[in-house]
Structure 1
């Protein structure tokens, strides 16, 4: 992939399904309130992080390009 990403979790949307942790355990964790957090908000592009975002049932994970803010996921419509 080669890009640098910025990963955020919208806590107002997160329902704690833990799909992100299942798909990318090295990239996400749940806190005591079962809210997801990226372990490294600024990271190199990673297929597992993208799979985690795509698996989120409420699309609470937002990935943007680190050097411009262009949407990676969810894609702009």
Structure 2
């Protein structure tokens, strides 16, 4: 029973992570005039912390916008 709950929790966490990364990738491509990245490349560079500066700036803009819209604090990038 506990293994089933653990697997379900891990699957839910993976789905949430995928949805968040996909949202950031799609939204980041919209206003980004720099090099386009495939989703796999974006995810790999995001997790390694090696995204190009232009992408980091765009992600910061997205998070600032979401914070303003939802009036919440997200201390992800400082």
TM-score (norm 1): 0.32
Task: Give the number of the structure whose residues are more often helix, by fraction.
Answer: 2
TM-score (norm 2): 0.32
Report 1 or 2 for greater relative contact order, CA contacts < 8 Å, sequence distance ≥ 6.
Answer: 1
